[in-house]
Structure 1
Amino acid sequence: MSRYRPGRIIGSAVGALVILAVGVYGPATLLGPLPAASATLDTPAPGPASASPPVLPAAGGSAVIGLTTLTPDPTAPTTVTLKAGDLGEHVPLAVGGTRDALPMAAATKIVTALVVLAEKPLPAGDAGPKITISAADYQDYISYGSTGARTVVVFPGEEWTETELLQAMVLGSSNNHADTLARWAFGSIDAYVAAANAWLGTQGLTGTVVADATGLSEKSAGTATDLARLAGLAASDPVIAGILAQPASALVGQRGVDNTTAFLADEGVTGISRSYTDAAGICFLFTAQVRTGASVFTFAGAVIGEPDYDALTADVTALMESARSGVTELPVLALGDAYARFSTPWGATSSATVRTAKTRFGWQAVAPGVADVKLDSISTGRAGRTIGRVSVEAGGESVSSPLVLDRTIPAPGLGWRLLHPVAMITALLDANK
């Protein structure tokens, strides 16, 4: 007859639990995944590069926007930071004076040129259709001339090609040719104005509005930022760029036209529109280039509301001096700079450092932005292992480089694993979630 023995049962249960615990504890601690290293973001010490913003006048309104950076290295792609289609969203390098819309004088004619070309595009090398000068066109010439506004002479019945009309309007700032183009392309000035304002909206130039084709109306007004973008659009249009590249000489088969856009060419400036009205003061749209060695940086700008040409000369000259100081090859991500530090529960440490140095040729108007660091989850790793990427905004573009471990993170010994069951079992549970 068997007898009930509680002690034996309890002993057997305890033994079973010990065997079970050893069976789980051993594999969990000796073979299970390690706890992940903790990562702390780091900020490298500032490098030698410093911001060198454009010098812009405090009066009126002004803005500059980067266009392109060209380098002689055939393996380095051309960096285009401003292009047709996204100009309205592009952040300017700098803005001076007021950010409000101001009367923009003949900068309005650049809107007219772009809107007409959007409606009546010109194939490459084609001068376009011939437009007959009407009685209304001739009356515009007489009327504008009687008020002292800029004109280029026309006669009823003569024919001008679309390109010739654009030349007279862009280079000669001819008011009568602006109206002729608007009526020819859209049927009436009112219809043109409606189409032009719709076009400005599609380009993102929401701070600008036109009330006429010429800019003589003070209601044709724009922000300096929009007008710098407008200059970029004009420079990217092959027809307008081709007209601006021509020497100041007689139009083919038509009247002589003085180039009113040319200004400070010896400073590297290409004028797009230069004009004056009592309401607007002097307004200047332009592009400019700065060369450093074989690299070239191009930017677009607008200066509006200048009191006189002496002020315009001084302000654009100061801007170009600041461009020659500010446009250079600047380090953005330095080799070996640490952007994060790893530490493990067993005391190993390492840093996430830049694997490939990145520089940027251009105008560093502001210091590079806050770094965006993306890291992998790691427990161990050899020195040089890629464990993430760092990106910064510099001059309107994103610059990035891989991050690597600067030293090996070794695994802990067996003793540490056995003596830290909570950490090891927690890592095992986390790995199986």
Structure 2
Amino acid sequence: MDSYQKKIDRLQQELAEKRRLIANEHLATGRHLITRDAKLLSSTRLSTLSQESQRLQSQIDDARASIARIHAILDREQQIDGEVDSLRGKIADLEESVQPMYEEIGRKAFEIYKSHPFVDENYVDLFSELVKNHEDIRDIDQQLVQLERETEEKPFLDRMVAKGKIALLRNRRTTREQNTPRLFRKAGRFVTESNFVTVVDDATLTRAVEPYHQVNTQIDDLNRRISDLQKEDEALSEDLRALGADRKAVRRVAELEQQIEELTTTLNNVSIQVGEGYIAELKKDDSGAAAVSESVTRVRELERECQAVGKQIEKLKAAIAAEEAAARIAEYQKKIAALEREIAENQASVEKLRGSIAETEAQKAQLEKARGPVDKL
């Protein structure tokens, strides 16, 4: 029986492989008919299955397009981030390059302001800090000249006190001088942000401002480019949101891939049904369309082989069942023989007990005779 079962196992594997090959041929036939020769699917059932397969394929194509679009958007967003960072770096470099320009612009603008008392009063605040700083330096210089002239005529102790004042004033002057470039830069920035250059219409100031305008034009161009990139990024984010991938794109791609896998499985099953149904509708001597005739022939050969293998399996199963039946019969016979032996043994016991009963009844009769009537006891 074990040898029969091993043969059955081997034949079942062979049968499963042949059925797999049949399914592959059905799949290939169905795909061809659906995509190339749908006109051959004349029956209502096959036509309906063909339409279903087209719907499934459309869903698969849409899911694949969504995945491709998500990847393209993510790549582009990464490129945009890199471009924006690069542009901001260039802007920072350009803004740093205009700092020295502010100082020169502020210096020339202040000179013009000082020499043009008719300049609009609206610009007074623009130069107020420079004016005060300039006046402080001038006042300190006057005080220094006064102290230095008077110091030579004073007694020793007074001269020492005066020298201390002179040192203090010089420190103050140094502080004012050191502060001047910063104030020039501040004024220069304000000048570039106002219409001062246009109002005074001075050629030297216009030339001083020109490099700044050139750099500022570059900065404006870069900022416009950043703005365009940010708008593009916002549009891409909207696209991701429409694709359901605005928060967790990786998870959304995984969901779409799972959807494609499930749809593909369903599509393959539909294609198999189409191929199987088409071949089943053919007459025995008809191999169908030329493009699928080889598959039709191969399916029929495999089906015949499956039938032969199936019959062999049934024979082997019958052989196993026959051996099992013989084994059960032998077991039944053993039980019958045992029961018959038990019956014979029980019959002997019965006969022995019957003899004992007869002997005991004889003894009882003798004892009753010896006893006599019970009422006379």
Fold match (TM-score > 0.5) = no
Q: Give TM-score scaled by structure 2 length.
A: 0.23
Whichever structure has more helix as a proportion of its residues is 2
Q: Give TM-score scaled by structure 1 length.
A: 0.21
Of structures 1 and 2, the one scoring higher in RCO (CA 8 A, sep 6+) is 2
Whichever structure has more strand as a proportion of its residues is 1
